[in-house]
Amino acid sequence: IIVEAARRLVTPQSLSGRKILVSAGPTWEPFDPVRFITNPSSGKMGYALAAEASRRGAETHLVSGPSVLCPPSGVRFHGVVTAEEMNRVVSDLAPAMDAVIMAAAVSDFRPEKAAPQKTKKDSNDLTVRLVRTPDILDGLGSRKPAGQVLVGFAAETENLLENAAEKLVRKNLDIIVANDLTQPDSGFRCDTNQVKILFRDGSIEDLPCMTKQDVARRVLDRIESLFAARERS
Amino acid sequence: IIVEAARRLVTPQSLSGRKILVSAGPTWEPFDPVRFITNPSSGKMGYALAAEASRRGAETHLVSGPSVLCPPSGVRFHGVVTAEEMNRVVSDLAPAMDAVIMAAAVSDFRPEKAAPQKTKKDSNDLTVRLVRTPDILDGLGSRKPAGQVLVGFAAETENLLENAAEKLVRKNLDIIVANDLTQPDSGFRCDTNQVKILFRDGSIEDLPCMTKQDVARRVLDRIESLFAARERS
C-alpha cells in the first residue's frame, strides 16, 4: 500500500477529472450449481489497466468477473459472475464514462438452461444447448456518447489483424488491442503480453512483448492522445 | 520458506517413509482453444492436504489441475489440465502409494469434440454434446492394492450423507469427506470448510467449521490411525 501511494505520488495526474470503466476477467456461465463454461482469463490485463487509470487520477470503475486478483487500491469495484450481469452493470455505468475499456473475456455462449441441482453422473451423456450471451461491446458501440473513447480487445487464434480490424469498425470502437493467442508469453494468464494496437484511421502500433503493466500504460497513453485530439477539434 | 522450515521442524514426522498422492484443483475440459467446462475449485483443500502430508514427512505427490496456488514446498508436483490427463498421471502413480487422497474436483463430463480453432460468435446457437470422463476414483477403488488407504471427497447440493455413504461403499474407499455445498463458509474457494468424515465401519465424524489446514490435519490423523490399525492386525 505504501509502495502504491508512492507510485501514485510520482505519476502525473493526467487523467484527473476523467471517468474510466474497465471490465476484466472471465465470466462463468453455469449449467448447474457447480459446473460452468468459462475461459482461461485471469483478469491480469484488465486489473493492470484499472490500476494505471486510477494511478493517473481517473475515477476508475472495475467491473470484474470471478478472479483471484485483488482489486487495485482506489478503484470502485463491481464484482459480477455471468455475461448477463456484466452487461447490466457495464451498460448502467457506461453513459457517464469518458472511456470504456472492455478487457474482460466475456463468454459468448451460455447454457440455455441451468439445472437447480448438481447433475448426477448417472445422467450419462448429455447435451448442453448453448445460446448467445448479450454482445456487450456491440451495445456500447451502438449507444456510444459523443466524445467517449471505446476500447475493445480481440483475442484470436487465426487471422488476427483481419478479424481485429473488422471488429474495430463493426462495433464502432476507437481502439482495439489485438492479442495473438498462438504466441508464447501472450494472452491468457501470462504476466506479459505481445499486442498490436489498431486505430480508426487504419494505423497499427506493433508492440514487442512487454509486461501487462506496460501494455496498460501504452493503451492509456493512446486514450489520452484521443482525449487531447478531441478537445483540440 | 523459513516459516515453513520451522514448522516442519516442530511437526512430528509421523508419515516418514510413507508415500501419499493428493489430487487437487479443477480440471478444464475444452471445447475449443479458449473455452472449456470447469467448476469453481481453487485447489485450496488439496494443496492444504499435500502441504500437511509433506510436513509430516511423507513423500508427497500433488497432481493438480489448473490452479493459481503455489505448490507447497517439498511436494512433487504434477500439473495436468483435463480429467483424461489427471487419470493417466494418478493411475500411473497410485499403485506405489500408501494413501491416495482424491481431493480434485474432476469434471465428470467433457465436450465430445474440441474444435481446433476458436469458435466464431456468428456460429449462432450451438449444441455441445457432453460425454463422461473416466471415473478416476472408481478405477483406483477397483485396483486398490492391499493395505492402501483410499480417500474420496463428496461435494453435494442435496442428500449429502446418503450420497456420500453410498459412494464410500460403491467406490471401495476407506474414508470419504463430505462437503455440503449449500452451507456458507464451506466448499469451493473458501478458506474454511465444514465437513463430515465417513468411515467404512459406518461411523461419522461431524466436524465444526474450521480452516482447510485444520481439515487437512484431521484427515491425515485418520489416515495415520488406519495405517496403525492395519499394522496391528
**Is A181's CB within 8 Å of B34's CB?**
yes
Chain B residue at shortest CA distance from A163: B120
Evaluate whether B136 touches B86 at the Cβ level (below 8 Å).
Answer: yes
Average pLDDT on A34-54 reads: 94
Enumerate the residues of chain A whose CB falls inside 8 A of the CB of residue B40: 28, 34, 36, 66
Portion of chain A with pLDDT greater than 70, in percent? 95
Selected for mutation to probe chain B from A125, A130, A136, A183 (highest B CB count within 10 Å) is A130
Q: Among the listed ranges A186-200, B42-56, B205-219, which one has the minimum average pLDDT value?
A: A186-200
User: pLDDT of B41-82, one tens digit each?
Assistant: 889 999 999 999 999 999 999 999 998 888 999 999 999 999
Distance between CA atoms of residues A7 and A73, nearest Å: 12
Give the tens place of pLDDT for each residue, A69-101: 889 999 999 999 999 999 999 999 999 999 999
Instruction: Give the pLDDT mean for A186-210.
Output: 88
Mean pLDDT of chain B: 91
pLDDT of residue B8: 79
Kindly indicate the confidence band of residue A102, based on its pLDDT and cuts at 50, 70 and 90: very high
- The C-alpha cell 487500491 sits at A73
Candidate from A69-78, B58-67, B84-93, B188-197 with smallest mean pLDDT: B188-197
CATH code assigned to A2-109+127-232: 3.40.50.10300
Q: Does A81 touch chain B (CB under 8 A)?
A: no
pLDDT of B129 higher than 80: yes
CB contact under 8 A, A130 and B129: no
Q: What is the pLDDT of residue A122?
A: 64
Q: Do A130 and B130 touch (CB under 8 A)?
A: no
Say what the pLDDT of residue A124 is: 63
CATH of B13-116+128-232 among 3.40.640.10, 3.40.630.30, 3.40.50.10300, 3.10.20.30 = 3.40.50.10300
Contacts of A114 (CB under 8 A, 6+ apart): A30, A31, A32
Q: With b meaning 16 or more CB within 10 Å and e meaning fewer, what string describes B91-127?
A: eebbeebbbbbbbbbbbbbbbeeeeeebbeeeeeeee
Place of cell 480434485: B104
What are the phi and psi torsion angles at A37 (to 5°)?
A: -100, 135
pLDDT value at position A10? 83
Q: What percent of chain B has pLDDT over 70?
A: 95
Is residue B164 helix, strand or coil? helix
Quick one: pLDDT at residue A123? 64
Task: Reply yes or no on whether the pLDDT at A193 is more than 70.
Answer: yes
The answer to whether A42 and A67 are in contact (CB under 8 A) is yes
DSSP-derived letter for residue A25 is S
- A31-40, B87-96, B174-183: which is most confident: B87-96
C-alpha cell at B115: 474444435
CB burial of B147-165 (b: ≥16 within 10 Å; e: otherwise) equals ebbbbbbbbbbeebeebbb
Considering only CB atoms, A117 lies closest to which of B33, B108, B157, namely B157
Judge whether residue B21 has pLDDT over 80: yes
Q: Report, as an integer, the average pLDDT of A103-114.
A: 92
**Percent of chain A whose predicted confidence (pLDDT) is above 90:** 69
A124 and B132 within 8 Å at the Cβ level: the answer is: yes
Residue B178 pairs in a beta bridge with B154, B196
In this prediction, residue B122 carries a pLDDT of 64
The reported pLDDT for the residue numbered B155 is 85
Q: Is the pLDDT of residue A58 over 70?
A: yes
Q: Is the pLDDT of residue A172 over 90?
A: yes
Mean pLDDT of B161-166: 93
